[in-house]
Amino acid sequence: MALRIVGLSPPSQPPRAWWWGFAALFAAFLLTMPIYFDIAVLFSVTNYLVLALLALSMSFLWGYGGMLSFGQTAFFGLGGYTYAVMALNLHETTGAMIVAIVLPMLFAAVLGYFMIYGRISDIYFSVITLVVTLILEKGIRATSGDQYVVGSVRLNGQNGIPTTPALQVPWNPKVQLEIDDVFYLAAILLVLTYVGLRLLLITRFGRILVSIRDNERRSALLGYDTRRYKLLAFVIAAGVAGLGGAMWGVWGNFVGPNMFNLGQAAQVVIWVIVGGKSTLIGPIGGTIAVQYLTDWLGTQGVGQVSLVLGIVLMVMVMLFQQGLLPSVGLIAAMARDALSGARRHRAPP
């Protein structure tokens, strides 16, 4: 419903030409940013882009799979830690990056099997994923002792791993990526993930997933094993979140237990809500807007960022249920309808 209002094509249809134009423009804008901005800005924006991967993972699963997982931070943290531990052990980062995507997917497969094949209801799914991320946080925080070592790497508990290595160029490990290179990489990964998820939705898998979201029982009666599709979506989303976590480690040269915590999980929900979960691009905008606000509040000395975020979240849920971007789109669509209502009616049903 919301999609049609905004004027985007429904997810199960191939994107229109203008969408490709938009994606190209978005990519072009990102890739030319270093020309206009200094390193400090690029560094901040890289953070936004990486966190946007986490938001994409959540909005794909929630907006199109109908599963609200608070545990995306679990996969995010797992990805980050896997990358740090593997890269420090192997002294090689390309393989570490790949493992950092695969391991969260495997974890999601096991966890998802438990929940989705156990047919627990939606709300329990949300709460269990939340509990899982809490367990991981508690567990990782309890690894300060020197007995908690993976290979040659101390897990360091509360302090996290502040020596998380920079990425190397795959074919030339001597060259490490600098701040601007990481920015390019994050931008490219974000655009690729966005386009990839968008195209995934027009495949058979994507269409079935959306139909399950709309009515799981009907889809099951049509003969689809809905559990399989939901599990697959859960696993894919975990991979995206894992990639985000690993890139976050690369960005800040740091991974820590805060990646798993409740505050972080809340932020992801806020990004997606602000951006609107009915599109994939919305949450990217939501992430950038909210993170920018948090950064800005930090230098303004407002004091209580959580106070402001809490108000934002309440207002969004109570007043702008579709998210800010779609709400703006809704107003735009109403204005357009007022101007050229007649043309719309001629369109085929």
Contact positions with another protein (CB under 8 A) in 185-244: none
Name, in order, each residue with C-beta under 8 angstroms of 329's C-beta and a sequence gap of 6 or more.
Answer: 5, 6, 7
Residue 41 touches another protein, criterion: CB under 8 A: yes
Contact indicator for 85, 254 with CB cutoff of 8 Å? no
Q: State the virtual CA torsion across 26, 29, 34, 38 in degrees, nearest 10.
A: -100
Rounded Cα distance between 111 and 215, Å, is 23
The DSSP element (H or E) to which 123 belongs, if any, is helix 122-141
Name the CA dihedral angle for 137, 139, 144, 147, rounded to a multiple of 10 degrees: -150
CB of 156 to another protein, least distance (A): 7
Burial (CB count within 10 angstroms: exposed 0-12, middle 13-18, buried 19+), residue 184: middle
Residues that bind another protein (rule: CB under 8 A) add up to a total of: 81
* Residue 17 C-beta: closest distance to another protein, Å: 27
In the region spanning residues 43 to 72, those forming contacts with another protein, defined by CB under 8 A, are 43-44, 47, 68
Of the candidate spans 5-13, 53-61, 306-314, 332-340, the one that interacts with another protein by CB under 8 A turns out to be: 306-314
**Minimal distance in Å, beta carbon 315 to another protein?**
8
Q: Classify burial at 9, counting beta carbons within 10 Å of its beta carbon; exposed 0-12, middle 13-18, buried 19 or more.
A: middle
- Our finding on whether 21 is near another protein (CB under 8 A) is no
Pick from 11, 77, 112, 160: which binds another protein (CB under 8 A)?
Answer: 160
Binding of residue 110 to another protein (CB under 8 A):
no
Cβ 309 to another protein shortest distance, Å: 5
Please name the residue that has the structure tokens 């795959």: 170
Residue 178 Cβ vs another protein, minimum distance, rounded to whole Å: 8
Using rule CB under 8 A, residue 94 touches another protein = no
**Sole residue written with tokens 């207002």:** 315
DSSP state of 315: H
Give residues 265-284 in contact with another protein (rule: CB under 8 A). Answer: 266, 269, 273
Our CB check for another protein shows the closer of 302 and 332 to be: 302
Nearest approach, Cβ of 268 to another protein (angstroms)? 11
Q: Which residues of 86-112 are buried (b: 16+ CB within 10 A; e: fewer)?
A: bbbeeeebeebbebbbebbbebbeebb
Residues in region 168-187 near another protein by CB under 8 A: 169, 175, 179-181, 184
- Is 331 one of the binding residues for another protein (CB under 8 A)? no
Binding positions for another protein, 125-154, rule CB under 8 A: 126-128, 130-132, 134-135, 138-139, 141-142, 144-146
Q: Which of 90, 294, 320, 330 binds another protein (CB under 8 A)?
A: 294
**Residue 334 within binding range of another protein, rule CB under 8 A:** no
Nearest-approach distance from CB 253 to another protein, in angstroms: 6
